[in-house]
Amino acid sequence: KAGVTQTPRYLIKTRGQQVTLSCSPISGHRSVSWYQQTPGQGLQFLFEYFSETQRNKGNFPGRFSGRQFSNSRSEMNVSTLELGDSALYLCASSLTARAYNEQFFGPGTRLTVL
Amino acid sequence: KNEVEQSPQNLTAQEGEFITINCSYSVGISALHWLQQHPGGGIVSLFMLSSGKKKHGRLIATINIQEKHSSLHITASHPRDSAVYICAVRSDNTDKLIFGTGTRLQVFP
């Protein structure tokens, strides 16, 4: 079974631009979560989607948004990029949104904002 | 104070040593995860616990719900165990994952 895939793997943008990152979960998984990892803040939860509905959201500004499609693939969008948005963005999929389901992580997208 | 604290922050060991990494949390939880992150960023889920103890190969994870504490043990450590180990808890109030800052482990031959 193929693992979680994320595209693109690396991205360089300039301040003020917007970016869209994509995540394809493991086949059959219906829950996708997104995380941001920075050297200063570590790993932080962004949002979680299940069956095309956002069921949870972290403490990030409205510039960060996401969505999930009927095939469970998910995208996240960051508008008006700031230097501080430079980070590794990870997505993880699980079978359902239940707390006891194991999460499987993708390789991440490394975003650099210049 | 962070809701999830890990110790130590950095750990150096000789191959073959027994290693313990600790995680304490201050919130009510429905599950606790131990994750491994190698250089390059990829994260692998090692364990998910809600009670007791789990073992997988040379890795053992325990959790004490009353004391709000978990430990990850590595027996007979090997250089390939060198990685960052991250503890994460799922809050039973917000249902969000809260991460510790990680423990950087280096095992030398």
Query: Residue B89's closest chain A neighbor by CA?
Result: A99
B22 CA: distance to closest CA in chain A (Å): 17
Tell me whether residues A107 and B101 touch, CB distance under 8 A. Answer: no
Give the integer Cα–Cα distance in Å for A48 and B44. 19
Q: Map tokens 């995380």 to a residue.
A: A35
Q: What is the predicted pLDDT for the residue at A101? A: 78
Tell me whether residues A105 and B42 touch, CB distance under 8 A. Answer: yes
Q: Which 3 state secondary structure label does DSSP give B98? A: strand
Tell me whether residues A99 and B42 touch, CB distance under 8 A. Answer: no
Q: What is the predicted pLDDT for the residue at A104? A: 93
A and B: number of Cβ contacts within 8 A? 50
Query: In this structure, which amino acid lies at residue B36?
Result: Q
The residues of chain A scoring below 70 in pLDDT are 1, 99
Q: What is the predicted pLDDT for the residue at A33? A: 95
Q: Which 3 state secondary structure label does DSSP give B81? A: helix
Specify the length of chain A in residues: 114
Q: What is the predicted pLDDT for the residue at B21? A: 98
pLDDT tens string A26-38: 999 999 999 999 9
B44 CA: distance to closest CA in chain A (Å): 7
Query: Residue B33's closest chain A neighbor by CA?
Result: A102
B90 CA: distance to closest CA in chain A (Å): 7
Taking only the tens of pLDDT, chain B with its 109 residues reads 689 999 999 999 999 999 999 999 999 999 999 999 998 778 999 999 999 999 999 999 999 999 999 999 999 999 999 999 999 999 999 889 999 999 999 999 9
DSSP for B7-26, written as a single string: E-SEEEEETT--EEEEEEE-
Give the closest residue to A8 by CA, choosing from A69, A114, A62, A89: A89
Tokens of A18: 């917007």
Q: Is B69 left (phi over 0), alpha (psi -120 to 50) or beta?
A: beta
Q: What is the predicted pLDDT for the residue at A1? A: 67
